[in-house]
Amino acid sequence: MKKIEQSLEKIIDHVVRHNQGENEFHQAVKEVIETLGPVLRKHPEYADQKIIERICEPERQIIFRVPWMDDREEVQINRGFRVGFNSALGPYKGGLRFHPSVYLGIIKFLGFEQTFKNALSGMPIGGAKGGADFDPKGKSDNEVMRFCQSYMTELYRHIGEMTDVPAGDIGVGAREIGYLFGQYKRITNRYESGVLTGKSPQLGGALVRREATGYGAVFFAQEMLKVRGKSLEGKTCIVSGSGNVAIYAIEKLNQLGARVVACSDSGGVVYDKRGLNLDSVKQIKEVQRKRISEYQQLHPEAEYHPDGVIWNIPCDFAFPCATQNEMDKTSARTLLENGCIGVSEGANMPVTPEGIKLFLDAGIAYGPGKAANAGGVATSALEMQQNAIRDAWSFDYTEERLQKIMTNIHTNCFETAEEYGVPGNYVVGANIVGFKRIAEAMLAFGLI
């Protein structure tokens, strides 16, 4: 047993040394590897074939220049990325993030997480991630279009529906996907619908794709509570963020009878004790593309706290849906002290390791992102299916498929955690389920 733990520590040390300065990537790798000792004891062939070491090294990493011209006719230059992490289960699949914080370490952490998330979904897709250090905020539609066209002018040669299928992430919604797809079509002379997902329905996009990540995080929370004999009905909830994931988590929570009292953006936190007016949030963020502080202009009885910490607001259930490491140990402790019974991650790695430990030690219902927010990529895979057969499915049918996928992910994580002696620990359950699926496929392919 000690020998296995030492070998895992060596792998972590190797990853840190060979990927210097990429702290988010180190964190993601460590969180997974530290849970895999029991698997290696049952399956020594994984260690013999160095499956973990191979999974931690991306299959390909692409970095490129993205020049474009702004509305003042001034040349701008950004850096673009696409990291194909693992294609053992299918073509690379993962979103594109346009945000000033993007650098190689963030893309690698997201791609690593995506590989396990996609494996958990049960769909035949590998893991990847991409993006650029471009900020769409404050840019005109024409500026966003010119950037997307320049980005795709390089990216197009590396993607394809049987090779690598990007989608959206932070800063990349239906508008950006439309511009990217238009440029791909123009360059390749192919209407290859399956090369990008998250498209608008007019371009072959799946109904429910916009809602899928937020809905999925709520479905997972619902399943975690169900095995505890509880439900979301009547629960007071808070949802960080106010982008795509947060908005549709709020929508599904409302439909299930919960009351969402707070959301946020990078400027601050809005708190409405009567329950947020979702139509107002959608108008502000999806139509006007303004800051969440505008909510108070429409609802003077609500509170707005610039630079506030949303986790200080008492709640029954929390949904971190903004960005990585948004909830630290102090915030996690505050949630627990205020009586929070569950956390379901709509964002990727939003809770720090110290915060996760507090949740696990407290025994609350904690759903890690690679399981809880897998609904987005699962529905992207459904979009790929529709594109492949030139079909279009109804909203209700697609949502039903999504809910079944999330229920299956929960069941697999829950049962695997019990099998490995840590009942209720979805972190261990999710990591082991995803790892075993990838490992078995890699063994079947041989050393490639």
- Is residue 85 within 8 Å of 113, Cβ to Cβ? no
> Tokens 């790929």, residue?
384
**Structural tokens at position 362:** 């407290």
Gyration radius of the chain's alpha carbons: 21
**129 counts as catalytic:** yes
Q: What is the SS3 assignment for 71?
A: coil
CB 226 within 8 A of CB 258: no
Alpha carbons 273 and 303: distance in angstroms, whole number: 9
Contact 260, 254 (CB under 8 A): yes
- Are 69 and 76 in contact by the 8 Å Cβ rule? The answer is yes
CA 332 vs CA 239, 310, 357, 411: distances in Å: 14, 11, 9, 26
| CA proximity to 169, closest of 373, 319, 357, 421 | 373
Residue 340, classed as helix, strand or coil, is coil
Alpha carbon 247 to chain centroid distance? 15
Under 8 Å between Cβ of 19 and 105: yes
Quote the CA–CA distance of 172 and 110 in Å, as a whole number.
15
Q: What is the largest CA-CA distance in the chain?
A: 63
CB atoms within 10 A of CB 303: 15
H/E segment holding residue 237 = strand 236-239
- Options 93, 108, 129, 185, the catalytic residue: 129
What stretch of H or E contains 194?
Answer: none
Residues 6+ away with beta carbon under 8 Å from 201: 207, 392
Question: From CA 212, how far away is CA 62, in angstroms rounded?
Answer: 28
Catalytic residues, which ones?
A: 129
